[in-house]
């Protein structure tokens, strides 16, 4: 076969059956991709437009007023914003040490025995458990028994419920991140006389820090938007916290405020629900974007 014939065979023929079939399936894939992402875009756009129009300085700092149809007396969502941050912080304080510790055990100390397999299986099951189950569990163990200094519904109970939802993500991310750390680093550290504990604290854990941080942010983003666990644990409050002791009483949150005020027959409370939806969506989007940036930075460093 001559060179001219070879060049002729390499020329792209847009009318050939193979290329037409490829274009057809590429177009079908693109259409399905657009259909899959369209609900997300529409929901986000509607919330950002509808809720963003309700945002004002007073809405962000005032306490919500009792139900009524007077827009001037609707109040704001300030306590719910603060409550969301406090409950999420409590969940992080509980879940991060336990989750990172569990991930370290699975990646560095477990030898693949029955106990480690049981933990990984339990983590996968816990990741798929409905969030309301976590709320009911904490309600039965903490709220109903009044074990927290005699208090029932409280912000601490709400943080405990959300920490259960965060745990699987933190454990799995820590486990997988530490497995990606090169064994040469471990051998080098152990070879110069460092203990396993020192190797984990000084070598492997810092090397996987950014990937672990990504999992923590993703777990926090999932927990912060949950409503059902908080209805059973933190309930709701319209007032700002005035001291540490208020952690042991009902506490407001954005998700529960949205649930309560969306059911009100008054337009004023419905507008506050839209404003809270806007703030919550912005917070969740920010955390997901942050996790993506941290993940990209971690991937870039690992490729160097």
- Tell whether the model's pLDDT for residue 188 goes beyond 90: no
191-227: pLDDT as tens digits: 888 888 888 888 898 888 888 888 888 888 888 888 9
Q: Structure tokens of 147?
A: 């074990």
54-92: pLDDT as tens digits: 888 888 888 888 776 555 567 889 999 999 999 999 999
- Tell whether the model's pLDDT for residue 157 goes beyond 90: yes
What is the DSSP code string of the chain? --HHHHHHHHS--TTSHHHHHHHHHHHHHHHHHHHHHHHHHHHHHHHHHHHHTT--HHHHHSPPPSS-S-GGG----HHHHHHHHHHHHHHHHHHHHHHHHHHHIIIII--S-HHHHHHHHHHHHHHTS-HHHHHHHHIIIIITTTTBTTB-S-HHHHHHHHHHHHHHHHHHHHHHHHHTS-HHHHHHHHHTT--HHHHIIIIIHHHTHHHHHHHHHHHHHHHHT--HHHHHHT---SS---SGGGGGS----HHHHHHHHHTSSSHHHHHHHHHHHHHHHHHHHHHHHHHHHHHHHHHHHHT-
Confidence at residue 139, expressed as pLDDT on a 0 to 100 scale? 93
130-139: pLDDT as tens digits: 899 999 999 9
Tell me the pTM.
0.84
- Tell whether the model's pLDDT for residue 140 goes beyond 80: yes
23-55: pLDDT as tens digits: 888 889 999 999 999 988 898 899 888 888 888
Which fold is adopted by the domain 78-302?
Answer: MetI-like fold (1.10.3720)
Confidence at residue 40, expressed as pLDDT on a 0 to 100 scale? 86
């Amino acid at each position: 076969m001559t060179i001219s014939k070879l060049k002729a065979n390499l020329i792209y023929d847009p009318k050939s059956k193979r290329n037409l079939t490829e274009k057809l399936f590429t177009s079908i894939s693109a259409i399905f991709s657009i259909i899959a992402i369209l609900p997300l875009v529409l929901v986000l756009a509607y919330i950002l437009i509808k809720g963003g129009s309700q945002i004002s300085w007073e809405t962000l700092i005032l306490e919500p007023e009792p139900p009524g149809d007077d827009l001037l007396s609707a109040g704001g969502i300030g306590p719910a914003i603060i409550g969301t941050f406090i409950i999420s912080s409590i969940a992080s304080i509980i879940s991060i040490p336990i989750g990172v510790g569990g991930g370290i055990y699975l990646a560095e100390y477990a030898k693949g025995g029955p106990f480690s397999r049981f933990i990984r299986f339990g983590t996968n099951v816990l990741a798929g458990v409905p969030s309301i189950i976590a709320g009911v569990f904490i309600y039965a163990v903490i709220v109903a028994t009044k074990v927290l200094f005699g208090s029932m519904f409280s912000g601490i109970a709400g943080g405990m419920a959300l920490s259960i939802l965060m745990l699987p993500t933190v454990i799995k991310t820590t486990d997988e991140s530490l497995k990606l750390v090169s064994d040469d680093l471990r051998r080098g550290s152990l070879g110069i006389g460092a203990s396993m504990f020192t190797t984990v604290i000084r070598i492997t854990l810092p090397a996987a820090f950014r990937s672990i941080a990504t999992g923590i942010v993703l777990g926090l983003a999932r927990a912060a938007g949950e409503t059902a666990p908080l209805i059973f644990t933190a309930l709701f409050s319209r007032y700002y916290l005035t001291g540490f002791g208020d952690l042991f009483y009902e506490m407001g949150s954005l998700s529960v405020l949205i649930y309560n005020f969306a059911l009100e027959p008054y337009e004023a409370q419905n507008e506050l629900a839209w404003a809270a939806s806007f703030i919550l969506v912005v917070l969740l989007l920010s955390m997901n974007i942050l996790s993506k940036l941290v993940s990209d930075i971690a991937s870039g460093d690992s490729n160097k």
